[in-house]
Amino acid sequence: MIYWTELHTASDAQVKVVIAKTRWLLDWLSGEGKPLAGFEREIVWVSSGATSFTRGSPQQKQMAAAGLRHVGSKLHIRNQRG
C-alpha cells in the first residue's frame, strides 16, 4: 500500500489547490510514474492546521470525486497483516 500524502492547510479556499495536486499525481502515475501505479494506494490530505469544512460538505464530495480523502490532522495507517 502506498499512501500519497499532502500536508496542507485545510481551508475552503485550499480545496481546489489540493484537488489540482491530486489530479497532477494521477496524471503522473499514468505516465512517468507508471511503475508505481500498480500498487494499492490511497491519496490523503493531512491538515496542517484547523479544518474549516465538515464531513458531508460539498468540499468533501469534491475531494471524494477526485480520489482524495481528507483525514484531518493525523493519518492512521491500518495494519494490513491482520
Tell me: the pLDDT tens digits for 23-43? 999 999 999 999 999 999 999
8 in any annotated domain: yes
C-alpha distance from residue 72 to each of 8, 11, 16, 36, 38 (Å): 10, 12, 17, 25, 27
42 DSSP β-pair partners: 3
Confidence of residue 82 (pLDDT cuts 50, 70, 90): low
Measure the CA–CA gap between 63 and 70, rounded to whole angstroms: 8
How many domains would you assign to the chain?
Answer: 1
**Residue 77 resides in a domain:** no
Quote the CA–CA distance of 45 and 57 in Å, as a whole number.
15
pLDDT reported for residue 81: 62
Question: Is 78 inside a domain boundary?
Answer: no
pLDDT of residue 53: 74
Domain of residue 21 covers 2-72
Is 81 domain-assigned? no
Please report whether residue 82 resides in a domain.
no
